[in-house]
Structure 1
Amino acid sequence: MGKKRKLEQADAGEAARQDDAAAPQRPKRTLLGWKEGDPNAAEEKRGGGGGGSVFRNKEKVLVTCSRRINSRYRHLMLNVVSLLPHCKKDNKVESKESKGATLNELVELRNCSYCLFFECRKQKDLYLWMARCPNGPSVKFLVNAVHTMEELKLTGNHLKGSRPILTFSMNFNKDPHWMLLKEMITQIFGTPKDHRKSKPFYDHVFAFSIIDDHIWFRNYQVVNQGGIEETTLVEVGPRFCLNPIKIFGGSFGGPTLYENPFYISPNQIRALEKKKKAGKFAKKVKAKTRRKMHELENPLEPDEFADLWKE
């Protein structure tokens, strides 16, 4: 009985070796998926039940903010986080001169390649940093005209996690700095294809327009009421306006590639408003002084009837 079992096992082993020799060679794999250009990999993907193409673009965006940020700007940051399924939210970072090194380290630890940093100054002014870490470039914006989703209460409502369609106005193709900003916005706000947290269809549009050297952001839901001709756009929110200040060659610093000549800081605007208010008071004081000097230079003649009714 033992000899028969050994013979049967030997025959089974030879049959398995013949099947392995007849089977196609296993395709080579890499860290990002199947090796490109391998026909066996394509057949494996079709018949392996993997559900289509393999995710290759693993770039992610780190979204964080500075300490002492007010509630309105924090809600805006949370709205942006909800719109980007490929982002990672982190704890608050102290807004100091060394914030660049801290953010670069955080981006490396969280395995991201881009960073959106909402920096609040004096609990009034909001600055937005867009940076590619760790080599740059990076852009600093002043954020104006902020309206969150909770404030607007618009009727649009798209599915969370779906991929957006990015639209840009024709002004982005005129100057080199606008072209650079367009490329950075595309890589940050564009959800990678086949991302594990994204939905495999489009149902909303991110619109970026340049008006008066400012970038205006709008988010619209695509509503299809029947045919293609009846497709309409319904605004969802949030809304904000980006005023570019400087473009740096490095990440959160480095050589200045572009500086906006029309930029005026909010501190200067507030100082001018105070000077205007102080100027009104100074005008009143000068007017009173001129009136007194005029009265002293031109005294009135004595009244003849001043002592008429005195006893």
Structure 2
Amino acid sequence: MAKKRKHIELQNSEPMKKDESNPQRTKRTLLGWKDKAKVKESDSPVFRNKEKVLVTCSRRINYRYRHLMLNVVSLLPHCKKDNKVESKEGKGATLNELVELKNCSSCLFFECRKQKDLYLWMAKSPNGPSVKFIVNAVHTMEELKLTGNHLNGSRPILTFSTNFDEDPQWKLLKEIITQIFGTPKDHRKVKPYPDHVFVFSIIDDHIWFRNYQISVPHNETDKVDRGGLDKMTLVEVGPRFCLNPIKIFGGSFGGPILYENPFYVSPNQIRALEKKQKAGKYAKKIKAKTRRKMHELSNPLEPNEFTDMWKE
């Protein structure tokens, strides 16, 4: 049988002293072991992008515009989608509260009116500024069926035309678009590499949006070297839309007007002019008809033998 070990009594009842030469153990956190020395070194003012965008729409939105909003949501992995908001005069306070509850810093609000006109609000919450656009030439991914295809959640490269550096309103719009559509580098839902391009270009005072995939050949014999941009090609993915700026406000969804587009004409005025033109065509037809009747009364036909025969 195995022998039992004898209990050795401690000769000295004094507690053991800690060895001061050993380094002190670091604290454990949720992200790992926390080293005080490393924390002090990393206190340097380094910018970290914590941008989060709230994407929502108004009630009674058209299905086509709702699909456009879903396409934009799929392109922005750092966004948060929320329920529909009633499009009223007091929507600014409601949206600012939703942005604060969702812990976001920006907002994209798709507002549909009369189930025909689509307006897009880009706002920085809670202090502003904010921009109101009218969206034209909408083409969703489902409509286009283009051949381009990029990874879901990858970082985009933002490119702007040279017109954005000419006037101050375009410089402000470029900064707002960069902050909203620029995906943070260390976001948890983002791939660490870019494989598509967002193109913003100004043509006729309108901002045109295009999304292209960066296509690279993958054959072993035709590998692309570093800096070999001549072999890379761009394939359009979608969606497509055009933004016509209406007003730029100093606050979030309101405030002092910083810029107003002098060439903007509302869709209601365009429809009213079309109705007047149609009414003018109808009035011309009625006038021509009355003119023919007056001409017949003033110039009666002379009696004829054949007409008298038919009357008998």
Fold match, TM over 0.5? Answer: yes
Matches within 5 A, 1:115-264: 115-225=107-217, 226-227=223-224, 228=228, 229-264=230-265
State the partner residue of 1:302: 302
Percent identical: 74
Question: Do the aligned partners of 2:140 and 2:238 also contact (CA within 8 Å) in 1?
Answer: yes
> Does residue 282 of structure 1 match 2:290?
no
Aligned-residue Cα RMSD (Å) equals 2.5
CA pair 20-240 structure 1, distance change in 2 beyond 3 A: same
Specify whether residues 212 and 6 from structure 1 end up closer, same or farther in structure 2 by C-alpha distance, changes over 3 A only: farther
Candidates 4, 10, 13, aligned match of 2:16: 10
Q: Secondary structure at the match of 2:88?
A: coil
Is there any run of 5+ residues in structure 1 with no aligned partner, and where? 38-53
Deviations 1:266-299 (A, max 9, x none): 11111111111111111100111222223334x2
Aligned length: 288
Distance 2:73 2:12 in 1: 65
CA–CA separation in structure 1 for the residues paired with 2:76 and 2:237: 14
Shift of 1:64: 0.4
CA contact (8 A) 2:56 2:81 kept: yes
**1:5/1:211 CA distance change after superposition, 3 Å:** farther
Q: Determine helix, strand or coil for the equivalent of 2:152.
A: coil
Residues 10 and 308 of structure 1: CA distance in aligned 2, closer, same or farther (over 3 Å) = closer
Name the aligned partner's letter for residue 289 of structure 2.
K
TM-score, with length taken from structure 1: 0.86
Q: Deviations over 1:27-74 (max 9, x none)?
A: 3759xx94227xxxxxxxxxxxxxxxx993212000000011111111
Kept in 1: contact 2:51–2:180 (CA 8 A): no
Tell whether the 8 Å contact from 1:27 to 1:35 is kept in structure 2 after alignment.
no
Is contact 1:158–1:203 with CA below 8 Å preserved after alignment? yes
Structure having the higher helix fraction is 1
- Matched residue type, 2:22: D
The aligned counterpart of 2:4 is none
Separation in structure 2 between the aligned mates of residue 140 and residue 34 of structure 1, nearest angstrom: 40
- The amino acid that maps onto 2:300 is L
Off by >6 Å, runs of 4+ in structure 1: none
Cα deviation for residue 209 of structure 1 reads 0.6
Distance 2:25 2:87 in 1: 64
Contact 1:64 1:117 in 2 (8 A): yes
Q: Distance in 1 between matches of 2:268 and 2:134?
A: 12
Q: Residue 56 of structure 2 corresponds to which residue in structure 1?
A: 64
Deviates further, 204-213 or 266-275: 266-275
Contact 1:55 1:193 in 2 (8 A): no
TM-score (norm 2): 0.85
- Which letter maps to 1:3? L
Deviations 1:12-33 (A, max 9, x none): x21xx3122799x713759xx9
Question: What is the letter of the counterpart of residue 36 of structure 1?
Answer: S
Correspondence for 1:20: 23
The gaps in structure 2 that reach 5 residues or longer are: 1-7, 27-34, 218-222
The CA distance in 2 between the partners of 1:295 and 1:5, in whole Å, is: 138
How has the CA–CA distance of structure 1 residues 99 and 22 changed in structure 2, closer, same or farther, with 3 Å as cutoff?
closer
Deviation at residue 300 of structure 1 after TM alignment: 3.2
Compute the displacement of 1:170 (Å). 0.7
Shift of 1:173: 0.7
Q: Offset of 1:207 from its aligned partner?
A: 0.2
